[in-house]
Amino acid sequence: MKFRFVLAALATTAMGLAIAQTPAPTPQPAAAPASAAVAIPPAPTPTATAWVLMDYITGQVLAGENYNERVEPASITKVMTSYVLAAEQKNGKIKPTDQVMMSERAWREGGAGTDGSYSGFAVNKTASLLDMETGMAVQSGNDAAIALAEHAAGSQEAFAALMNNYAAQIGMKGSHFANAHGLSAPEHYSTAYDLALLGRALIREYPEQYAFNKIKEFTVGAITQPNRNLLLWRDPSVDGIKTGHHSAAGYCLMSSAKRGDQRLIAVVMGSTSEKQRADDSLALLNWGFRFYETHRLYEPGKAIATQRVWKGKTKDVQLGVAQPMLVSVPRGRYDDLKPTMDVPKTLVAPITAGQAIGTVKVTLDGKVVAQSPLVAITAIEEAGFFKRLWDAFWMWWESE
C-alpha cells in the first residue's frame, strides 16, 4: 500500500514505498517559501588567484574559480591548528587550563623578532592553553601556534602529522601541512575548497573554538592587537574565520556569516590587499544570501511519519529526525523540492527511542540536497507471547 510523505510547507508530495498496513504520516508545519523564483546572475569575481563560496548546510559550492588548485594557505593554516587542538581537547589529551611554555624555538621562529604576526607571550614562561589559543586565533600569533603545537604533540613536526591525519578525516584531499603557523615551507599547501571544508568542520564540530575567531581584540601583557578580519567591523552577521598573508601567498581570507538559519563560507586566496580581500569576500557573501535561501524542514522530536511495527505492545512507531533538518536552495525553488523516505518494509519490536529506522532525503532537480536519519521518537516494547505468535503468523502470511 502506498503511503504519503508530506514536506511540511509544501502541499502533499507523493512518494512510494510498499509497506503493508502502514498508516499515513502526519504532516508537520514548516516555514512557507519566502520568495518567488528569481534568475541568478553571475557571482562577483574576486581579484584573487582562487576563491570559493560554499553553503554551510549542504557543503554545496555556490560559486568559485580555481578552487581545487594548490595554494599557500598562509595563516589560514591556524584554523587547522585550532581544529586539531579542539579535537585533542575533546579526546582528553590536553585541557584549556594546561600551562603552555613559550619555548625559545617558538619565540625565535614566531616571536616579535620575526617578520610575521606574533602574540607577545614571554619566552621561557607559561600561559594557559586557553589564552595562547585565543592569542593565536585573534592576533594570528605564530609564536602561540608553535608553542601550542609543541605542547600538544611534543614538537611542531609531530603536530604537523596530526594536522594531516585530521585533514584526511575532514576530506581535505588537496592539502598537506608542514607547520602550525602557515609560513612558507616545502610541502605546505592547500586549496580554497579544502579550506572551506575545514571552516565548515570547525563550525559544526567545535563551536566553542570557532567562537574565538569573532573576538575583535586580545591583550597579552601590555600589547593589545586587533583581529585582522575587517569584516568583523563591517557586517554583524560575520563571525569569523581567519586572515592570512605573506609574500608568496598574497592576501587571503576565510570568512563566514550567518543570517537567520543560513550560513555561508567564503574563501579568497591570493588577493592584492587587505582591503581587497575583505571587499571581495563580503560581496560574495552578500550575493549568496541574496540568491540562495535556507529552509527549516523538520524539527527534532516531531513525527514525520508513522510505521507499522510487528510483535510490539503498540502497533505503530512515530518517526522523526534527531537534529533539525535544513535545506539550502536557490531562492524561490522551495516548491520544487521532492522528499522521499527509505525505511525497512518490516519492523519488529522491541525498538528503542532514538533508534535509527531509515532515511529521509530531499532532492532538487534529481540531486540530493538534504538528508537525515529517521529515528524512532518513542520506544516500542515487545508484546506478550500470544501477540508475538499472532504477528508472526501474519508476517508469514503477507510474505507469501
Distance of CA 161 to the CA centre of its chain: 23
Cα–Cα distance between 172 and 165 in angstroms, integer? Answer: 10
pLDDT value at residue 185? 94
- Of 140, 175, 271, 372, which residue is the catalytic one? 140
111 or 145, higher pLDDT: 145
Residue for grid cell 602561540: 144
- C-alpha cell at position 123: 619566552
The x, y and z cell numbers of residue 175, run together, are 592539502
Residue with cell 562577483: 44
Asked about 255 being catalytic, the answer comes back as no
Domains, the chain, ordered by start: 4-28+299-399 (2.60.410.10), 50-292 (3.40.710.10)
Predicted pLDDT at 397: 81
Contact present, 339 and 361 (Cβ < 8 Å):
yes
- pLDDT tens digits, one per residue of 342-364: 999 889 999 999 999 999 999 99
DSSP state of 189: B
Question: How far is the C-alpha of 239 from the C-alpha of 53, rounded, in Å?
Answer: 16
- Rounded to 10 degrees, what is the CA torsion of 356, 83, 281, 363? -10
Question: pLDDT digits over 4-53, tens only?
Answer: 333 333 333 323 333 333 333 433 335 555 566 778 999 999 999 999 99
Give, as one character, the DSSP assignment of residue 30: -
Whether pLDDT at 80 is above 80: yes
Cell of 138: 585573534
pLDDT at residue number 6: 33
- At 114, the amino acid letter reads T
pLDDT of residue 29: 34
Is 154 buried (19+), middle (13-18) or exposed (0-12) by CB count in 10 A? exposed
CA angle 229, 235, 236 (to 5 degrees): 105
Bond into 41 cis (ω within 30): no
Cell numbers that stand for 240 in this block: 569569523
Contact 376, 353 (CB under 8 A): yes
- Rounded distance between C-alpha atoms, residue 390 and residue 396, angstroms: 10
Which entry of 75, 119, 328, 372 is annotated as an active-site residue? 75
d(CA 346, CA 15): 18
Partners of residue 70 on adjacent β-strands: none
Report pLDDT for 20. Answer: 33
- What pLDDT, on the 0 to 100 scale, is given for residue 1? 34
Residues 125, 129, 131, 135: is their CA dihedral positive or negative? Answer: positive
Rounded CA separation 400/398 (Å): 5
Mean pLDDT of 363-382: 92
Contact 321, 360 (CB under 8 A): yes
The better pLDDT of the pair 396, 206 is held by 206
Distance between CA atoms of residues 400 and 395, nearest Å:
9
Minimal CA–CA distance to 252: which of 267, 236, 240, 231?
A: 267
Range 318-350 burial, b when 16+ CB lie within 10 A, else e: bbbbeeebbbbbbbbbbeebbbbbebeeebbbe
Residue 104: how many CB atoms within 10 A of its CB?
Answer: 11
Identity of residue 262 = Q
> Residue 163 in contact with residue 134, Cβ under 8 Å?
no
Per-residue pLDDT at 4 = 35
- What does the pLDDT average to over 155-168? 97
Q: Which grid cell sits at 322?
A: 534527531
Residue 163 to residue 122: CA distance in whole angstroms: 26
- Bridge partner residues of 342 (DSSP): 359
Q: Is 275 considered catalytic here? A: no
pLDDT at 34: 52
Q: Is 75 a catalytic residue?
A: yes
* pLDDT confidence band for 277 (50 / 70 / 90): very high
Q: What is the mean pLDDT of the chain?
A: 89
Mean pLDDT within 118-131? 94
Alpha helices in the chain (DSSP H): 77-90, 104-110, 129-139, 142-153, 156-170, 192-205, 207-210, 231-234, 274-291, 385-399
